[in-house]
């Protein structure tokens, strides 16, 4: 399977007041097509930073990010924006829907940057919303939706452009247990049934079980596969067994 | 406690410098406008303060229109009124000097009684010798210094003026230049009314008629009574008079501008109201954004009243700063306006009225403070009354 | 490629109070601007309508106003005999001897009385002007009768048909009301030339002489002829030029109006900028989201800029609507040249309204430019973190 995302010796430092803080150190990660990876680690371990760098929302201090073989370093801002629109679907912890737009309009937003005409945009958006189970909520505003529903709209928005991969930053952070399960199940289904490549950052081990692989970040460094941080207080994630949702989904 | 208020307020203001600066700027500009309008209204309709010289004079003219004549014999009656120190008569000649198309050559020419002119205008400074020559020589004239300087006249200059409304040509000799008070830039010459009378053809109805009388009073308090007595004396005659203090007379020219007073007041009102709206809105925005912070302050022990005081204090301080700056700007603008208007004829008293006035200044600054206060009450009460929990949960 | 406008419009609607308050400042500036333009246009219309392009005014040499001018009866006879003068159907040369003075009429607004131009003229003078009687009849020669202009009748309660007004040496009976269209005629009182002259002790002279030429070439020749004539002490000015010079009257008012409007605009500009900056902060997360979705800096800038322009445009329309009713308002202004009041109607023209709108849009752009730029330049991560 081809490599969708590859980072080589990625490092990121930034200044906080007069101090230099290292968020990422020498991270080399490969994500292949069809994978569903959960990135875990304590707060401050740099998980979100890694996600941002991959999404070209920030620039690395050192190292490279290659997406489908393309090095993002040479890109100018406008090119990066275009690229992001085509290639990535981003899901935020806080949903980040535009309050004054309806569900349908929110999902149509990224489509406005494509060459699709208005009719086609509406078609695509409807399809995406139906896929996430919100076919009856097209014209609702975010304030009229529950948290779980809002995040599902955000997922619909993320897949509307048929991106090469999906990045999710703590997607269940603001949700209650039931909604969280819905959302995670949806992501798993997208991965299993539709072959979507997903990279998900989370601190919740329960959420991580929905993914196929889990990697850990500790103090800015990516731990080799299978390795868990030493002072990690949470219960380690057992390998997928027949009883986990991920295994169940795979079995179907 | 109060010093920590002040420092909290100061830090709040400095926290978002741009917001505070823009708010101050907005207030300043609007206050500048209001100040300018106040000054204009005052200058046009209340004439500022009359100069000490003006306060002692009464102007007498025909009741119906300035263009109607009065008999020169009225002078004798006026002289007998108690409180009158001196009287001079006035007729505007309205003749042509050289080429009237050149604005330089347009100035007022008045036929007066040379003996009493300077008694009625004690503020005009002139050499005693010149004054004497003016009285002695019938064809003599005196000019104001601004006029003399403009046309390069020196004593001895021969000045010819061709009559327009009156069929007479005047051959005058300049015998003296008088200095009006510093801010008076009128360009005018005075000559002997007897010379005019003799230059008019016999039988000309204007021969023994004048247009106005200027009366100098002994003291300021006598002025209204003098005016009344003059009008009473001539009320039933074929040439009834209207007498008023010079200030009021000058102001009657402003009535030419029609409904300007209404126009100006309307604008003032509208601007003030709009400023109030805008400032209230900006303050509300500020307060709303800092709701969570208000929650924290309350958790720390600040009472509702103290929160209200801080909000109001901050708003008033910003508004006051804007007011002071705006006031300064409006003074500068008034001065600029005055210097533009100086070149326009007939606006001398208006120009004077546009000078710095403590009344206008304090009015504008007070208005600014009032607006700051009023506009912060609603947001302040809102902030003070929010419960701690509500405040901390506030999500923008 | 752009963020949809509905995004901006709805955001403006969601914050109704803020939008309205900010808009009111701009609306006021626009209203004042349009009102000032309307005033000047109205004045200009009155003066333009008062002049006949083939007529010229003869005044004393160097004079620039009828009120301060003298032309003797002898001179009148000389002028009458000149060539190039138009002739009416009855064979009479169109040359009119006129006496101009001022009467004082008390009004509700001005109990001290307002000055109105009194014009003594003969039937020839009436013929030379574009005027008709609304009610009553023209004054008769030898009688103390006057006809008043429509505006005089409207604005002075004392001036009604059959009433008397007092000027000069006594009372005059009002026998008719005239309408000269939108011109100074409606602000004048007309009486018989000889009667009026006698009243003002001006038996041998008039203020001015109005002459009509047969064509523009003749008018030119006539002007030269009069000015060069050594027997006369006169100067000429075409009626058009004469009234044109009086439009300068509106200049200080126009200046004041524009000054007020400009200052108000600056204040509103700051207010708009302030509001937009606050908006940019408040919608930081949205900006970050939009950028994440792939919208370029340019489109973000355009979006926020169009929001302030939309706001200003709306305010501009409000301001125009506020000023529009003026179009039906008549008021008067004093004329320093004729020493009397001239009535005129505000003219709110399409150009004035368009100027108001453009002014508003420019203001919206100016006020919103810097905040829009700030929005566009925000780093994605910084924007997303804004609470």
Residue A156 has pLDDT above 60, yes or no: yes
Q: What is the ipTM of this complex?
A: 0.84
Average pLDDT over residues C288-301: 93
Work out the number of other CB atoms within 10 angstroms of the CB of residue A209: 20
How far from each other are the two terminal CA atoms of chain C, in whole angstroms?
Answer: 27
What is the four-CA torsion angle of C100, C106, C110, C112, rounded to 10 degrees? 90
Task: Give one DSSP letter per residue of A54-99, joined into a string.
Answer: HTTSS--SEEEEEETTEEGGG--HHHHHHHHHHHEEEE-TT----T
- Sequence ranges of the domains in chain A: 3-251
CA distances from B262 to B45, B69, B269, C252, C348 (A): 11, 33, 10, 16, 20
> B164 and C101: CB-CB below 8 Å?
no
C356–chain B Cβ distance below 8 A for any pair: no
Work out the number of other CB atoms within 10 angstroms of the CB of residue C198: 16
Residue A152 has pLDDT above 90, yes or no: yes
User: Residue C131: is it exposed, middle or buried by C-beta count within 10 angstroms (0-12/13-18/19+)?
Assistant: buried
pLDDT digit string (tens) for B194-243? 888 888 877 777 788 888 899 988 888 888 888 888 888 887 787 888 88
Nearest-5° Cα angle at A76, A74 to A81: 120
Average pLDDT over residues C299-326: 94
pLDDT for res C338: 66
- Match 């230059």 to its residue by tokens: B199
Using CB atoms, pick whichever of C62, C166, C266 lies closest to residue B29: C266
Name the pairing type of β-strands B57-62 and B70-71. unpaired
Q: Which of residues 271-330 of C touch A (CB under 8 A)?
A: 285-286, 288-298
**Domains held by chain B: number:** 2
> CA-to-CA distance for C175 and C144, rounded, in angstroms?
10
- Same domain, residue pair B302 and B176: no
* Domain membership of residue B325 as a residue range: 2-49+257-393
What angle in degrees, to the nearest 10, is found between the helix axes of B304-341 and B291-300?
130
CA distance A14 to chain C (A): 13
pLDDT for res B180: 84
Q: Which residues are bridge partners to A29 per DSSP?
A: A7
State in words which class domain A3-251 has: alpha beta
CA distance C3 to chain A (A): 8
In a domain, B22, yes or no: yes
> CA-to-CA distance for B316 and B324, rounded, in angstroms?
12
Q: Which of residues 119-138 of B touch C (CB under 8 A)?
A: none
Least confident of A93-107, B142-156, B158-172, C125-139: B158-172
> CA-to-CA distance for C314 and C9, rounded, in angstroms?
11
Using CB atoms, list chains with 3+ pairs below 8 Å to chain C: A, B
Residues of chain A with a CB closer than 8 angstroms to some CB in chain C: 52, 55, 57-58, 77-78, 81-86, 90, 92, 94, 96, 98-101, 105, 109-110, 112-113, 157
Task: Give one DSSP letter per residue of C2-57, joined into a string.
Answer: PPPHHHHHHHHHHTHHHHHHHHHHHHHHHHHHHHHHHHHHHHHHHHHHT--TTEEE
CA distances from B298 to B13, B294, B295, B378 (A): 19, 6, 5, 19
User: Residue B7: is it exposed, middle or buried by C-beta count within 10 angstroms (0-12/13-18/19+)?
Assistant: exposed
Instruction: Residue A94: list chain C partners with CB under 8 A.
Output: 285
- Best of C1, C293, C304 to mutate (most A CBs within 10 Å, chain A): C293
Length of chain A counted residue by residue: 252
Residue C344 has pLDDT above 80, yes or no: yes
CA distance C88 to chain B (A): 31
pLDDT for res B356: 72
- pLDDT category, B61, cuts 50, 70, 90? confident
pLDDT for res A78: 85
Q: Which residue has the higher pLDDT, A14 or B11?
A: A14
- Same domain, residue pair B102 and B158: yes
Closest CA to C276 of C19, C30, C28, C20: C19
> Do B160 and B189 meet the contact criterion of CB atoms below 8 Å apart?
no
> Do A169 and A93 meet the contact criterion of CB atoms below 8 Å apart?
yes
> CA-to-CA distance for B53 and B217, rounded, in angstroms?
10
In a domain, B154, yes or no: yes
Least confident of A228-237, C26-35, C285-294: A228-237
pLDDT for res C177: 93
Q: Look at residues B160, B180, B213 and tell me which one is the last residue of a structural domain.
A: B213
Give the number of beta-carbon pairs within 8 Å between B and C.
143
Over chain C, what is the mean pLDDT?
Answer: 87
Residue C333 has pLDDT above 50, yes or no: yes
CA distance C302 to chain A (A): 15
Residue B299 has pLDDT above 80, yes or no: no
Closest CA to C343 of C112, C183, C163, C128: C183
CA distance C381 to chain A (A): 7
pLDDT for res A242: 47
- Best of A23, A24, A57 to mutate (most C CBs within 10 Å, chain C): A57
- Same domain, residue pair B269 and B381: yes
> Do C380 and A58 meet the contact criterion of CB atoms below 8 Å apart?
yes
B267–chain C Cβ distance below 8 A for any pair: yes
Work out the number of other CB atoms within 10 angstroms of the CB of residue A164: 16
Q: pTM, whole model, 2 decimals? A: 0.79
Q: Which residue has the higher pLDDT, B243 or B54?
A: B243
pLDDT for res C301: 95
- Match 């009849």 to its residue by tokens: C137
CA distance C5 to chain A (A): 11
- Best of B96, B203, B248, B319 to mutate (most C CBs within 10 Å, chain C): B96
> C14 and A98: CB-CB below 8 Å?
no
- DSSP-assigned letter for residue B45: I
C245–chain B Cβ distance below 8 A for any pair: no
- Same domain, residue pair B190 and B274: no
Among chain C residues, CA nearest to B337: C256
> CA-to-CA distance for B235 and B229, rounded, in angstroms?
10
Using CB atoms, list chains with 3+ pairs below 8 Å to chain B: C
Q: Which two tokens stand for residue A34?
A: 């069809």
What angle in degrees, to the nearest 10, is found between the helix axes of C16-49 and C297-323?
50
Q: Which residue has the higher pLDDT, C319 or C338?
A: C319
- Starting at the edge strand found earlier in the chain, the sheet holding A3-16 runs A19-32, A3-16, A62-67, A70-71
> CA-to-CA distance for A111 and A87, rounded, in angstroms?
12
> Do A21 and A46 meet the contact criterion of CB atoms below 8 Å apart?
no
pLDDT for res A232: 61
- Sequence ranges of the domains in chain C: 5-48+249-385, 62-232
User: Residue B157: is it exposed, middle or buried by C-beta count within 10 angstroms (0-12/13-18/19+)?
Assistant: middle
In a domain, B72, yes or no: no
pLDDT digit string (tens) for C193-246? 999 888 877 777 788 999 999 999 999 999 899 888 888 878 888 998 888 877
Instruction: Residue C297: list chain A partners with CB under 8 A.
Output: 77-78, 81
- Same domain, residue pair B368 and B261: yes
- Match 């990279």 to its residue by tokens: A199
pLDDT digit string (tens) for A73-101? 888 888 888 888 988 999 999 999 999 99
Q: Which residues are bridge partners to A20 per DSSP?
A: A15
- Same domain, residue pair B388 and B288: yes
């Amino acid at each position: 399977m081809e490599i969708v995302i590859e980072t080589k010796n990625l490092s990121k430092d930034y200044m906080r007041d007069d101090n230099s803080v290292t968020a990422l150190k020498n991270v080399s990660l490969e994500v292949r097509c069809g994978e569903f990876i959960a990135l875990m680690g304590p707060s401050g371990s740099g998980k979100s930073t890694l996600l941002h760098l991959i999404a070209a929302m920030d620039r690395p201090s050192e190292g490279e990010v290659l997406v489908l073989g393309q090095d993002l370093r040479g890109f100018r801002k406008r090119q990066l924006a275009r690229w992001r629109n085509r290639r990535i679907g981003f899901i935020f912890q806080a949903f980040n829907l535009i309050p004054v737009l309806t569900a349908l309009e929110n999902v149509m937003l990224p489509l406005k940057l494509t060459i699709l005409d208005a009719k086609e945009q509406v078609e695509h958006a409807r399809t995406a919303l139906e896929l996430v189970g919100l076919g009856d909520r097209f014209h609702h505003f975010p304030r009229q939706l529950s948290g779980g529903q809002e995040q599902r709209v955000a997922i619909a928005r993320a897949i509307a452009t048929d991106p090469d991969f999906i990045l999710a930053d703590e997607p269940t952070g603001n949700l209650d247990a039931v909604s969280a399960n819905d959302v995670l199940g949806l992501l798993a289904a997208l991965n299993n049934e539709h072959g979507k490549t997903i990279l998900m950052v989370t601190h919740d081990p329960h959420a991580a079980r929905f993914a196929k692989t889990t990697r850990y970040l500790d103090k800015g460094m990516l731990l080799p596969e299978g390795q868990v941080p030493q002072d990690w207080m949470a219960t380690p994630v057992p390998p997928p067994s027949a009883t986990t949702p991920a295994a169940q989904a795979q079995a179907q | 406690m109060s010093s920590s208020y002040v420092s909290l307020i100061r830090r709040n203001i400095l926290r978002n410098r741009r917001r505070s600066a823009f708010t101050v700027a907005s207030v300043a500009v609007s206050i500048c406008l209001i100040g300018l309008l106040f000054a204009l209204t005052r200058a046009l309709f209340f004439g500022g303060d009359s100069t000490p010289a003006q306060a002692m004079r009464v102007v007498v003219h025909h009741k119906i229109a300035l263009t109607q004549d009065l008999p020169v014999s009225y002078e004798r009656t006026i002289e007998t009124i108690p409180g009158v120190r001196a009287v001079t008569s006035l007729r505007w000649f309205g003749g042509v000097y050289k080429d009237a198309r050149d604005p330089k050559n347009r100035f007022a020419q008045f036929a007066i009684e040379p003996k009493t002119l300077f008694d009625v205008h004690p503020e005009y400074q002139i050499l005693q010798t010149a004054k004497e020559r003016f009285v002695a020589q019938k064809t003599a004239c005196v000019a104001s210094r601004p006029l003399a300087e403009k046309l390069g006249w020196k004593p001895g200059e021969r000045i010819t003026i061709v009559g327009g409304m009156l069929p007479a040509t005047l051959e005058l000799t300049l015998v003296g230049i008088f200095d009006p008070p510093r801010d008076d830039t009128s360009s005018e010459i005075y000559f002997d009314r007897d010379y005019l009378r003799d230059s008019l053809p016999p039988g000309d109805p204007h021969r023994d008629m004048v247009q106005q009388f200027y009366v100098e009073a002994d003291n300021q308090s006598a002025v209204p009574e003098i005016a009344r007595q003059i009008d009473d004396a001539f009320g039933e005659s074929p040439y009834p008079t209207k007498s008023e203090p010079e200030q009021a007379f000058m102001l009657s020219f402003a009535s030419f501008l029609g409904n300007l007073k209404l126009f100006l007041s309307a604008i003032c009102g509208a601007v003030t109201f709009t400023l109030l709206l805008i400032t209230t809105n900006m303050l509300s925005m500020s307060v709303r954004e800092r709701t969570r912070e208000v929650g924290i302050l309350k958790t720390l022990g600040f009472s509702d009243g103290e929160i209200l005081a801080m909000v109001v204090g901050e708003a008033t301080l910003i508004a006051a700063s804007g007011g002071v700056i705006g006031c300064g700007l409006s003074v500068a603008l008034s001065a600029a306006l005055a210097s533009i208007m100086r070149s326009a004829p007939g606006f001398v008293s208006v120009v004077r009225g546009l000078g710095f006035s403590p009344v206008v200044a304090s009015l504008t600054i007070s208005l600014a403070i009032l607006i700051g206060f009023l506009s912060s009450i609603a947001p302040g009460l809102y902030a003070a009354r929010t419960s701690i929990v509500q405040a901390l949960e506030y999500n923008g | 490629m752009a963020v949809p406008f509905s995004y901006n419009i709805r955001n403006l609607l969601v914050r109704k109070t803020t939008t309205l308050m900010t808009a009111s400042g701009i609306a006021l500036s626009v209203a004042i601007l349009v009102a000032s333009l309307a005033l000047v246009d109205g004045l200009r219309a009155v003066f333009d309508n008062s002049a006949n392009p083939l007529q010229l005014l003869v005044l004393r040499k160097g004079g620039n106003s009828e009120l301060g001018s003298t032309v003797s009866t002898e001179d009148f006879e000389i002028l009458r005999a000149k060539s190039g003068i138009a002739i009416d159907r009855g064979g009479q040369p169109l040359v009119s001897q006129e006496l101009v003075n001022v009467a004082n009429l008390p009004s509700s607004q001005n109990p001290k009385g307002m000055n109105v131009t009194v014009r003594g003229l003969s039937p020839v003078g009436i013929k030379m002007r574009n005027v008709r009687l609304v009610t009553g009849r023209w004054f008769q020669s030898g009688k103390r009768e006057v006809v008043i202009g429509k505006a005089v009748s409207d604005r002075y309660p004392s001036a009604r048909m059959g009433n008397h007004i007092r000027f000069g040496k006594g009372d005059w009976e009002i026998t008719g009301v005239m309408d000269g269209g939108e011109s100074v005629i409606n602000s004048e009182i007309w009486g018989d030339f000889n009667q009026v002259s006698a009243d003002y002790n001006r038996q041998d002279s008039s203020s001015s002489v109005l002459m009509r030429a047969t064509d523009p070439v003749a008018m030119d020749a006539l002007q030269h002829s009069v000015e060069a004539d050594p027997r006369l002490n006169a100067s000429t000015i075409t009626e058009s030029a004469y009234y044109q010079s009086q439009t300068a009257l509106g200049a200080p008012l126009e200046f004041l109006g524009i000054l007020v409007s400009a200052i108000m605009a600056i204040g509103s500009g700051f207010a708009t900028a302030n509001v937009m900056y606050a908006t940019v902060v408040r919608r930081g997360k949205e900006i970050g989201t939009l950028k994440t979705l792939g919208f370029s800096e340019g489109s973000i800038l355009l979006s926020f800029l169009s929001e302030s322009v939309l706001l200003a445009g709306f305010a501009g329309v409000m301001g125009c609507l506020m000023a529009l009713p003026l179009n039906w308002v008549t008021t008067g202004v004093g004329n320093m040249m004729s020493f009397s009041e001239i009535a005129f109607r505000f003219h709110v023209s399409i150009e004035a309204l368009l100027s108001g709108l453009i002014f508003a849009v420019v203001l919206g752009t100016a006020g919103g430019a810097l905040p829009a730029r700030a929005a566009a330049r925000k780093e994605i991560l910084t924007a997303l973190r804004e609470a």
